[in-house]
Structure 1
């Protein structure tokens, strides 16, 4: 009996190039619109460049030393940190509550999900203009409350008002992510916990909440980035005021320094510093939350 000899399959030495061909357009767009601006900004940050004098002198790390000795930049770093903490906490807490309330069947709950998600797809400028009209001294909020609070004109309240507006806009995003996590909880686990005598709160604490850990990781990292790059809301609602930079975030300070003051090199150093802070904070937070997912 003769056995058929198998012909060895020859693999092309260039087989690895086929995935690269399909990935090339995306990589090209990423390189042109992400990597190139970052490298260009880093190059500008090492010079004394400005918009009207492209030929600049190399200054090394002088711009970086300048910004960390600049009171306005340090103030903007503090403002951004406070704003980010509020923006991370409020939509996460509110998102869980809304997701639990909307985790039902029926056309009404489907419609409410769409309603809560609408602010996410709206422009930040549109949202800010609407809220600015309501938060004015004679606006709708004060009329409903019967007060005359300077939500945007009081230096002690303006930053918290901006943080509330950003949190309100991001609430729908967090709710949808948490709702997806809730719908991924196996009903058998909830039924087993109920049979064991666990009440609604204990079932949520011991069964549902641990399984929402991936959703919390995604929401927290996204909200961290959103808080640090806040600019549109600040520009429309308060323009960095009231007072001297009471609501000026790092992104707002970068734009003002680069375009209003025409100090491109210094503003580029601020932008690169913000990029490093966001990258480090996101990496640390992602690692901590991922470890939490494993522990749970």
Structure 2
């Protein structure tokens, strides 16, 4: 017991800086945002008064917020599904030895480390009406100017940027699959598809969990791509996500209390959905 007491100051000295940083840069802003969400705070109003949950009630009846929630949901589904499916395919293609495959792994991972603004600017130039994509396809499509296509274009751009991340996670999981299992399945007469479905895919379950949760968070907090590519348009809020509206309401319309309530709601939604998905996927891992 005395040894544990003697080690306690040393443990606290290691833990305290991390806890302090987390409290200052994570918990404190969340607490402040929650406090502002219960007021009519505004950057232009010197006096602030307590309004309770009226900001939250107003948001639940606000068509603009509900539209942004729908846009965010659609965008998140695209960002979760496309990189996961494509990432498995790319990982299977790159699961080989040789300098060429090592180089290709680096190439696929480059977009992940690039700034979202840089990626958006590059793709915006290529997706213009007279841009590179339309010239190569020999068509004239408004990828970012057509309200029916803009949201899906943003989703595919975000998916392209996250593809390298998913591929690396799946590739690491593939390299941990024992070769003896594939050999045993092949001896039993299993073809490539059967080996993948019965042997490889179940062992990729932890990678699927990691990728899905990360992509969920990425999709729900999408802002940079929307701001650069479409600024919430074309049309009225056709690509405006919840994160985009938080910035617009808080800093453009100067309704700090309402934007804080929107941010808190988004935090609750992300935490709830991520927790449920994580629990379901973890249960799937156990069952497999």
TM-score past 0.5 threshold? yes
| Structure 1 residue 19 displacement after superposition | 1.9
Quick check: 1:28 aligned with 2:20? yes
Quick check: 1:37 aligned with 2:23? no
Alpha-carbon RMSD across the aligned residues, in angstroms, is 1.0
Deviation larger for 271-280 or 188-197? 188-197
Instruction: Find the aligned partners of 2:175 and 2:244 in 1 and give their Cα distance.
Output: 39
Quick check: 1:70 aligned with 2:40? no
| Structure 1 residue 195 displacement after superposition | 1.0
Aligned to 2:142: 150
1:62-102 deviations in Å (ceiling 9; x for gaps): 00011111100000000000000010000000000000000
Aligned to 1:193: 185
| Structure 1 residue 165 displacement after superposition | 0.3
1:237-256 deviations in Å (ceiling 9; x for gaps): 00000000000000000000
Given candidates 140, 159, 162, the residue that maps to 1:167 is: 159
Instruction: Find the aligned partners of 2:9 and 2:220 in 1 and give their Cα distance.
Output: 38
| Structure 1 residue 54 displacement after superposition | 4.8
Structure 1 residue matching 2:47: 3-state secondary structure: coil
Aligned to 1:6: none
**Would the alpha carbon gap of residues 294 and 54 (structure 1) be closer, same or farther in structure 2, given more than 3 Å must change?**
farther
Instruction: Find the aligned partners of 2:43 and 2:287 in 1 and give their Cα distance.
Output: 52
Q: How does 1:43-122 map to 2 (within 5 A)?
A: 43-122=35-114
1:30-87 deviations in Å (ceiling 9; x for gaps): 1111100000000000000011335310000000011111100000000000000010
Instruction: Find the aligned partners of 1:10 and 1:283 in 2 and give their Cα distance.
Output: 40
Instruction: Find the aligned partners of 1:135 and 1:10 in 2 and give their Cα distance.
Output: 68
| Structure 1 residue 27 displacement after superposition | 1.1
Aligned to 2:11: 19
Instruction: Find the aligned partners of 1:144 and 1:19 in 2 and give their Cα distance.
Output: 61
**Would the alpha carbon gap of residues 33 and 198 (structure 1) be closer, same or farther in structure 2, given more than 3 Å must change?**
same
Instruction: Find the aligned partners of 2:168 and 2:161 in 1 and give their Cα distance.
Output: 13
Instruction: Find the aligned partners of 2:259 and 2:88 in 1 and give their Cα distance.
Output: 38
Aligned to 1:277: 269
Structure 1 residue matching 2:74: 3-state secondary structure: helix
Instruction: Find the aligned partners of 1:173 and 1:12 in 2 and give their Cα distance.
Output: 42
Quick check: 1:262 aligned with 2:261? no
TM-score (norm 1): 0.96
Quick check: 1:211 aligned with 2:203? yes
Instruction: Find the aligned partners of 1:78 and 1:88 in 2 and give their Cα distance.
Output: 15
Aligned residues: 288
| Structure 1 residue 153 displacement after superposition | 0.4
Question: Going by fraction, where is helix more abundant, 1 or 2?
Answer: 2
Structure 1 residue matching 2:93: 3-state secondary structure: helix
Larger radius of gyration: 1
Quick check: 1:291 aligned with 2:268? no
1:177-228 deviations in Å (ceiling 9; x for gaps): 0000000001111111111111111111100000000000000000000000
